[in-house]
Structure 1
Amino acid sequence: MKTFAENITDFLFNLQLPFELPNNIAVLDAHTNEAVRAACTAFYTKFYSDHHQRYLLIGINPGRFGGGVTGLPFTDPIRLQQDCGIENSFQKKQELSSVFIYNVIAAYGGAAAFYSRFYISAVSPLGFVKHGKNLNYYDDKVLQQRIEPFVVTCMNRQLAFGLSRSVCFCIGEGENLTYLQKLNAIHQWFDHIQPLSHPRFVMQYRLKTKDVYIQQYLDALRQLT
C-alpha cells in the first residue's frame, strides 16, 4: 500500500490538462523540472511517509513565485529551507502568501506538527500564466468552463489519498469559494467547506492586523483537535 507521500508525488508528477487552453494562456507546471521533483520528493517523504488521514486546505492554483518555483503549495524557497529543513538551490525570493502560511504553521507548532494533520493543495494543481503574469483559473471564463472535469478528477484522486471528508478549508473567500461550493453541491466531497481569508489579501491589504488573521486560521484548524 502506497504511503501518502508516494500517492502525492505520483499524482503531481503526472498532471496533464485534458483540454486545449484558450488563446494566450499557458500552463504553469513546475513539476516538469528535475530540481522541483527532487524538492517535492524530499518534502513529501519527510512529512507524509505514513497512512494517516489529513484535512485539506485548498487554494486557487499555483503562482509563479511560490508553488510555481518549488512545486509545493504556498511554499517559497526560503520557507522550504528555513521552516521545512529542505535544502534547495532555488533563488531565495520570498512570496507573500508563503510568508503568511508559514506564520500560521509556526504558530500551530511547526511544519512537522502541521503537516501531520493537514494537506495543502489547490482547486487546480496546475497554474496558468497569460502574457507573463499569473492567471487564476476563474479569471478566464472559457478556462473556468473547460477546467471543470480536470478539477473533479484531481479532487477525486486526492480524496483517495486519505483525506477527511468532514471539513475542507477553502483558502480564499471569493470566487474560489463559490466555485468549490458549486462543485461540492454536485459531488458531495465534503460535509462542510470553511472559508479562510486569502494570504495575499491579508499581506497586501491587512498587514497591520495580520495576527488577527493568523488567529482566524488557528481557531479553525484547532477546532479539529
Structure 2
Amino acid sequence: MSTFADKAIAYYNSLTAPASLPPGVGAMNPYQQPEVRKIVGEFYTRFFSDTSPRVFVLGINPGRFGAGVTGISFTTPQNLRRYCGIENDLRDTPELSSRFIYQIVEAFGGAQAFYGRFFLTSLFPLALTKDGKNYNFYDDRITTNTLWPAITQTVQTQLTFGADRRVAVCLGRKNEVFLRRLNEQQRFFDHIVTLDHPRYILQYKTKDAPLYVERYIATLQDCLEGA
C-alpha cells in the first residue's frame, strides 16, 4: 500500500508551472532541481511514511523564500536543518511565516509530533511572483480565475495522500474567502476553521505572538478532537 510519503513525493516531483499566467506574474518551480527533489524525498520519508490521515493546514501559495526555495511548505533552508534535521546546501533565506510556523511546530512537541498529525500545504502549490516580490493568487481577479482550475486540482489530488476530511485549518482571513468558495463547490472538508496568517502575525502583531501561538495550539488540538 502506498504511504502518504509515496504519494506526496510523486506529486511534488511531477509539478509543472502553469503554461500561461497574466502578464508580469511568474511561478517558481523548485521541484525540478535535484537538491530540492532530494529534500522532498527525505522530508516526506522521515515524517510521512505511513497511511495515517493528517489534518490539512492550508496557506495561500508558497513564498519565494520558503517553499519557493526548499519545496517544503513554510520551511526555509535553515529551519529545515534546525527543526527537521535535514541537511542541505541551500542558501539561508528570510521568511517571517516560516519563523512563526516553527514556533508552532516546537510548541506542539517538535517536527515528528506535528507532522505526524498535520500536513502543511497551500491552495496553489507554487510560489508566485510579480515585479520580483511575493504575489498571492487572489491579488487580482484574472490571476485567481486563471489558477482556479489548478487550485481545485491541487487540493483534490492532495486529499488522496491521506486527509482527515472532517476539518481543515485555513491560514489567513482573506484566504478563507477562497477556501470556503472552493469547499462550497467541491465539498472537500466537513468543517473549516481559520487562523490569522503567520506573516500577518509577525509583521503586525509581533508583541502578541505568544498569544497567537497559544491560539494556534488550542485550535490544532481542537481539530484533532474532531471539533
TM range (shorter): over 0.9
Aligned AA (2:62):
P
Moved over 3 A (4+): none
Corresponding residue of 1:120: 120
Measure, in 2, the Cα distance between the counterparts of 1:18 and 1:83.
32
Question: Aligned residue for 1:221?
Answer: 220
Deviation at 1:16, TM superposition (A): 2.7
Map 1:65-214 onto structure 2 (within 5 A).
Answer: 65-174=65-174, 176-214=175-213
Per-residue CA deviation, residues 43-96 of structure 1 (Å, 9 max, x unaligned), is 111000111111000001111111111111101111100100000111123311
Instruction: List runs of 5+ in structure 2 lacking aligned partners.
Output: none
Aligned mates of 1:66, 1:39 — CA distance in 2: 13
Q: Percent identity?
A: 41
Question: What's the TM-score, normalizing by structure 1?
Answer: 0.96
Which segment drifts farther, 88-97 or 64-73? Answer: 88-97
Q: Matched residues in 2 for 1:10 and 1:69: separation?
A: 18
Shift of 1:219: 0.5
Amino acid at match of 1:15: L
Residue in 2 aligned with 1:61? 61
C-alpha displacement at 1:18, in angstroms?
A: 5.3
Asked whether the equivalents of residues 77 and 94 of structure 1 are also in contact (C-alpha less than 8 Å), the reply is no
Q: CA deviation at 1:36?
A: 0.9
- The TM-score with structure 2 as length reference comes to 0.96
Contact 1:9 1:41 in 2 (8 A): yes
Q: Does the aligned pair in 2 maintain the 1:54–1:162 contact within 8 Å?
A: yes
Q: Which residue of 1 aligns with 2:40?
A: 40
> C-alpha separation between the residues in 1 aligned to 2:139 and 2:64?
16
For residues 5 and 44 of structure 1, the distance between their equivalents in structure 2, rounded to whole angstroms, comes to 5
AA partner of residue 52 (structure 2): H
How far did residue 41 of structure 1 move?
Answer: 0.9
SS in 1 for 2:47: helix
Aligned letter for 1:217? Y
The alpha-carbon distance between structure 1 residues 112 and 63, as it changes in their structure 2 partners (threshold 3 A), is same
Contact 2:56–2:169 (8 Å) recurs in 1: yes
Please, which moves more after superposition, 42-51 or 8-17? 8-17
Gaps of 5+ in 1: none
Q: Is the 8 A contact 2:16 2:29 kept in 1?
A: no
